[in-house]
Amino acid sequence: MGFFKLAGRVAVIGSLVSIMGASTVFAAAFGVVSGNNVNIRSQASSTASVIGSANVGTEFNVLGKEGDWYNVMYNGTSGYVSSQYLTVNKVEATVVGNGVNIRSAASTESNVVSTANSGQAVTVTAQNDEWYKLSDNSFISKQYVEGSLIELVTNMENTTVQASATKEETLMQNTYGIVLATSGLNLRSSASTNGDIIDVLPYGEVVDVYSYSKSWVKVKTADGQEGYLSADYCSVRTGEKPSRSLSSSKGEQVVSYAKQFMGTPYVWGGTNLNRGVDCSGFVYSVYKNFGITLNRTSASMASNGVVVSKSQLIPGDLVFFDTTGVNNGGISHVGIYIGNGQYIHASSGKEYCVTISDLNNSYGLSTYVTARRVIR
């Protein structure tokens, strides 16, 4: 068995984003502030305590409306802004029906610019009695669109209110996400469990956020991939984005610890970091010091963690090799990547001890098979 225990349910942003089953509808609303020094209050009342303030152009994730107050996400908690000073300018919604016409103007006499099918996500930016305006300035009949907060979007005559993020592809300022799934999290092409899997992001990966709801987070990864993550296992946070992932910083701690045992003799079957280790015994014992239990052999160890491409290696990742001379994908050796194209391992070659080798020399290139990220 792998070392990962079944992950407990993750509460995203406190009690506001509760654990829910998978949903096929991505519904999120965003509003923009239209005044300066606008108070954000703890309750939907002008007598409630002030928990912060915002200026013109500040965008908030809107959670709902209570009377004349919008319930917004503020610094990871619930706050309230008077509807006098906030306009809902963007709501994620879903098309209902197949072959639905999308038109160039809010009229059945206008040109059809495209069609949409049931389940397709659209971004609504304004409305009138019969039509929704979309983010690309096209229009769709209201009878073919649904969304839990869509009724909050501004009327078309009010769309001149200054907005900082009216385009769908604008990243949220001072907002980022962190992957909390210890076994990796699927990045999908759409906000649905039926969406294609673009990539599997490892624990601790830091991503930029476009928008989010109780079920899905639309993100952009460090290497430019865009897609959707389950909100159950992606924590959306505000503030300055970390410069590196959680797994990266802990990986460097692992590397620092492993380097203490440079020169420990190679002993087949050994797990004593001071007296003798084999390749998997070395990796197993190093990670055990950090509370991470791996499978014991190099071949079985490859089933721990999540797959990492060679171009995305960070310190602490496990690198696997086929040292049989044929490299048919079998695994017979393992080491720990330390950065700068190098790895530390217990070598049974001429060094016959724990040593550092080049991943990109001729031997490394000819024997390398795959890599895994195991840090939780």
**Residue pair 201/185 in contact by the 8 Å Cβ criterion:** yes
**Residue pair 134/167 in contact by the 8 Å Cβ criterion:** no
**Residue pair 317/371 in contact by the 8 Å Cβ criterion:** yes
Q: What does the alpha-carbon distance between residue 322 and residue 369 come to, in Å, rounded to a whole number?
A: 6
**Residue pair 302/374 in contact by the 8 Å Cβ criterion:** no
The kind and range of the H/E element at 8 are: none
Q: What does the alpha-carbon distance between residue 41 and residue 186 come to, in Å, rounded to a whole number?
A: 36
With 0-12 / 13-18 / 19 or more C-beta atoms within 10 angstroms meaning exposed / middle / buried, residue 255 is buried
Q: H helices within 239-291, ranges in order? A: 246-258, 279-288
**Residue pair 163/87 in contact by the 8 Å Cβ criterion:** yes
Active-site residue flag, 209? no
Active-site residue flag, 333? yes
CA angle 85, 87, 88 (to 5 degrees): 145
364 three-state secondary structure:
helix
Active-site residue flag, 345? yes
Catalytic option among 41, 133, 250, 333: 333
CA angle 133, 139, 144 (to 5 degrees): 100
Catalytic option among 106, 217, 279, 314: 279
Of 376, 299, 303, 298, nearest to 1 (Cα)? 303
Catalytic option among 41, 345, 373, 376: 345
Q: Active-site residue numbers?
A: 279, 333, 345
